[in-house]
Structure 1
Amino acid sequence: MKAGVDVGPTNTDAALLGHADAILSTVKVASVPGDPVASVAAALGRLGAPPLAQVAVGLRGAASAVDDRRGLYKVAVLRIGGHEAQAVRPLFGWPEDLLRAVCAATAIVDGGGGLDREDWTPLDTVAVARFAAGVAGRAQAVAITGLFSPLDAEQELEAADIVRAELGDLPVALSADLGSLGLIERENATVLDAALSGFATDVAARLAAALSPVTAVHVTRGDGTLMSLEHLARHPGLSLGSGPASMLRGAGVLTGLEDAVVADVGARRVRVGALAGGFPEEAPGGARIGGVPVGLRIPELIRVPRPFEPAELAEAVDRMQPGADRLPLVVVGGGERAVPGGLHPAHGTAAGAIGAATSPVGGQYERVVRLPDRSDLPAALEAVIEEARASAVRAGADPRHVRILEAADTPLAYLPGPFVRLRARAAGPPAQL
């Protein structure tokens, strides 16, 4: 048997699943304010679950920590790119209160600087070491973003080694691990990833201790898949957006639909999103977390405050429809009775918990490559596919059963030369050891 838990700001839902993911029971308990681990323990206690093979937890605490500006590490923000990277300074446009909560210092150092290897400039290792020494005692984590890391992450790795030599075992987040093309969105995501390091490490350790009899413990991530507790501690930013992602996945599982528009009706607001191929439709170009744009895979959502007029909800549903061929509307959440139309599946109030319990462990990889000869594309794409597969295994997937969800190539017409963006996603069932 396995269980899924969805920790919300007001209530925590849990679901017990048996053979072939049959739903045996669900419960709803009041969340413990500011303590997601205690909320998980309370929900599983109410569920009265027997020994479990797996628990998957939907944690919304990371987004709450950013929104509330609490429990965040002070981050030293290092950008590699020299003159080409100075048009917009790091953390430009951040809300002042979030800036005060997160920023220890920022710097831009020389390095990279071209689309071809022969045009690159060496990393200014002296400037990196000077910056690291200058933030000693002030920074609790470091975020490193290279302007051209989607092409080559070598200089980010080199800078990370220098930072660790100066500062010791501080969390160091690299933008190449998050894989988004836009510099500002990728850098913002990397900074938040570093800022959430303390929160994630604490939650991972406490969940492991609280659920120690369980063979496998995973948490949800924003693309509708799962990751291990160890992966959460390394990349906490991947959990941003995971609550809505689990809800969307659960709505699909409960109805057997892979493509649908979903309305999650809560006590204070309605969130409308879409499923495509069984996974959340992503916000184009990323989303905003805590008031800043981030290049992370997060569900595209339209929020409607409650109480709402029927026309407001109808407009949100229409905007999420992909085209003239209308998708069915699935209504879930604790307030689903407020919406008379659409499909109302049994156990819809626990859709987030069911989505967490039934999701696979995921991984992704993306890079930009120069392909003067299109005949080289299959080999280049295969290398990216293997990286995505390895990413899923590192996140906790069973290596024997990982499958490729997506593999795509997109020519980048706005870059000089034959550059192509390669992207792959992989997923598999959780490894039991």
Structure 2
Amino acid sequence: MYKIGIDVGGTNTDAIILDENHNLIHNVKSPTSLDIKTGIETALRNLLKEADIDKTKITHAMLGTTQCTNAIVERKKLAQVGVIRLGYPATASVLPYTAWPKDMIEKLSGNYALVHGGYEYDGQILSELDEQEIKTILGEWQDKVESIAIVGVFSSIKNDQELMVRDMIHEVYGEEFPVSCSSLIGSVGLIERENATILNAALCKVIETTTNGFVQALEEEGIFDAEVYLCQNDGTLMSIEYAKQFPILTIACGPTNSIRGASYLASIKNTMVLDVGGTTSDIGVLQDGFPRESSVAVEVGDIRTNFRMPDIISVGLGGGSIVRADNGRITVGPDSVGYMIGQEALVFGGKTLTTTDIAVRLGMADVGDKSLVSHIEEQFAKDVLSVISSLVEQAIDKMKTSSEDIQLVLVGGGSIIIPDTIRGVSQIIKPENGDVANAIGASIAQISGQYEQIYIYSKEPREDSLKDAQDKAVKQSVLAGAVSETIELVEVEETPLAYHPENATRLRVKVVGKMK
């Protein structure tokens, strides 16, 4: 019984094999290719060849990928999206795509329709749904859109109208047509929730290509019967079918994989984690073994959203970061040689001074040919290290919730560039196999389910509301691939809404279970 975990980073694609007791059997690193798919295939091929195990005993395969993030940032491979907002005329003053980058609107077609529907903040109906209005729009959009986002006003309280429109779309366009409902994706707040839903709808082609490519890569290596999962950004997994419904949940899964992997390797459930890659360093906080979630709206590709995201700070500092000295002023990054470090860095015979060269010069690492950096003055190397320390210290300070020194778990292939002492850090833990913590985090994860809704406790008692939210979270986790008998409640968050006259509360429930 073996599990395969693959995590695609900006510089390297890491692949590992674990046995049924989560012991690391073998790991490999391959440069991340420009098309990503080739890098995955290469890493998988090398892993299986070097490990020399019985492929028929591989039961699970997990993938953490940056494909969806890259598609949004690079504006590539996105679907043509139609947006149906249920809230006319109340919301006509702020239209869909407001404050979006112009190039992104053009990529997604910019088609939208404001139609009757929606609810008031207390669950009272804003206006009745007009089915003929919806059907007319669907007739106009035939062959013009590849995916549709449905957004109802206060659908986080009541989402039956969104689901009715979804059924109508499937009736007209077919059951396989991609539809995203905002009540299942974002939180309270119409515009941010709408933005997240549009992005989710835009990613339908990317996730289809990614999942099919991963399955094909496995089959080409003779792996046919393994359960296949994708990583979510809360440190858990989801089935391929669930991922196709909610591709946006793969965004920022890389850092969360590293945080979960660091927790497992260091046997610590509450700490701060620094994951240093080839291009960036990600800092996150572990709470009870899971990444701390962001409590503020997050921008994805310059678009403001409010869907679930981990609380992560990314710094342009990695093993491939370029070091420059200009009139006595030293800068490190944020640009990097990335996956070309094996050709570009001085220790590998290249011509670009990187942080890895500095680490080798100071005896902190033993990679490449150290004689190729012997000409670097020791004081200059120490000054560069001081700049690196300062970048890390500033980022750690931003993540702290108190002025006390913290414990830090250090992982990632680029961790060789981090000094042994950092101001504000009482202890640095460097676990064995920390360079592949991201792939380990991908392969040990459980399946989660999360549900969020506004409940009015004066109309529905708190106990009944909690049970309803938990039942719906359990349903989500089963859809994502969890075994129902193993599901347990791990988090309940209640936020009273001060502006509501009837004791309304935003209730968020999270459950986790074992994979099939």
- Relative to the length of structure 2, the TM-score reads 0.80
Write the distance in 2 (CA, Å) between the matches of 1:118 and 1:414.
Answer: 16
Deviation at 1:25, TM superposition (A): 2.0
Maintained 8 Å contact 2:451/2:469:
yes
Write the distance in 2 (CA, Å) between the matches of 1:259 and 1:287.
Answer: 24
Q: Deviations over 1:152-177 (max 9, x none)?
A: 11110111223333333421111111
- The counterpart of 1:205, out of the listed 187, 206, 212, is 212
Write the distance in 1 (CA, Å) between the matches of 2:120 and 2:309.
Answer: 30
Write the distance in 2 (CA, Å) between the matches of 1:146 and 1:227.
Answer: 26
Which has the higher Rg, Structure 1 or Structure 2? 2
Deviation at 1:275, TM superposition (A): 1.3
Q: How many residues align?
A: 429
Aligned partner of 1:45 in structure 2 is 45
Write the distance in 1 (CA, Å) between the matches of 2:472 and 2:260.
Answer: 25
1:75-224 maps to which residues of 2 (within 5 A)?
A: 75-168=81-174, 169-212=176-219, 213-224=224-235
Secondary structure at 1:53 match in 2: strand
Q: Which amino acid aligns with 1:321?
A: K
Aligned partner of 1:11 in structure 2 is 12
1:61-80 maps to which residues of 2 (within 5 A)?
A: 61-80=67-86
- The counterpart of 1:356, out of the listed 431, 437, 442, is 442
Deviation at 1:47, TM superposition (A): 1.4
Identical columns (%)? 32
Deviation at 1:207, TM superposition (A): 2.1
Across the aligned residues of Structure 1 and Structure 2, the Cα RMSD in angstroms comes to 1.8
Aligned partner of 2:309 in structure 1 is 298
- Structure 1 unaligned blocks of 5 or more: none
Q: Deviations over 1:283-320 (max 9, x none)?
A: 22242111112222222222222325322210111221
Q: Deviations over 1:136-164 (max 9, x none)?
A: 22111100011111111111011122333
Aligned partner of 2:238 in structure 1 is 227
In 2 relative to 1, CA 214–349 (structure 1 residues): closer, same or farther, beyond 3 Å?
farther
Q: Which amino acid aligns with 2:468?
A: A
Deviation at 1:394, TM superposition (A): 0.6
Deviation at 1:378, TM superposition (A): 0.6
Write the distance in 1 (CA, Å) between the matches of 2:205 and 2:261.
Answer: 29
In 2 relative to 1, CA 14–290 (structure 1 residues): closer, same or farther, beyond 3 Å?
same
- The counterpart of 1:346, out of the listed 424, 432, 441, is 432
In the TM superposition, structure 1's runs of 4+ consecutive aligned residues that sit over 6 Å from their partners are none
Deviation at 1:268, TM superposition (A): 2.5
Q: Which amino acid aligns with 1:304?
A: V
Q: Which amino acid aligns with 2:190?
A: L
Write the distance in 2 (CA, Å) between the matches of 1:174 and 1:240.
Answer: 18
Residue 321 (structure 1) aligned with residue 400 (structure 2) = yes
Aligned partner of 1:282 in structure 2 is 293
Write the distance in 2 (CA, Å) between the matches of 1:234 and 1:118.
Answer: 29
Write the distance in 2 (CA, Å) between the matches of 1:192 and 1:181.
Answer: 17
Deviation at 1:189, TM superposition (A): 1.1
Q: Which amino acid aligns with 2:458?
A: P
- Structure 2 unaligned blocks of 5 or more: 318-331, 333-386, 421-427
Write the distance in 2 (CA, Å) between the matches of 1:303 and 1:379.
Answer: 40
Q: Which amino acid aligns with 1:389?
A: V
Deviation at 1:191, TM superposition (A): 0.7
Deviation at 1:430, TM superposition (A): 0.8
Q: Which amino acid aligns with 1:273?
A: G
Maintained 8 Å contact 1:385/1:407:
no
Aligned partner of 1:394 in structure 2 is 479
Maintained 8 Å contact 1:392/1:426:
yes
Q: Deviations over 1:97-145 (max 9, x none)?
A: 1111113401211112423455442112232222222222211110001
Write the distance in 2 (CA, Å) between the matches of 1:41 and 1:339.
Answer: 31
In 2 relative to 1, CA 219–42 (structure 1 residues): closer, same or farther, beyond 3 Å?
same
Write the distance in 2 (CA, Å) between the matches of 1:230 and 1:327.
Answer: 40
Write the distance in 2 (CA, Å) between the matches of 1:296 and 1:137.
Answer: 29
Secondary structure at 1:180 match in 2: coil
Q: Which amino acid aligns with 2:258?
A: M
Write the distance in 2 (CA, Å) between the matches of 1:27 and 1:119.
Answer: 56
Maintained 8 Å contact 1:286/1:295:
yes
Aligned partner of 1:369 in structure 2 is 455
Secondary structure at 1:99 match in 2: helix
Residue 424 (structure 1) aligned with residue 503 (structure 2) = no
Q: Which amino acid aligns with 2:142?
A: A
Aligned partner of 2:370 in structure 1 is none
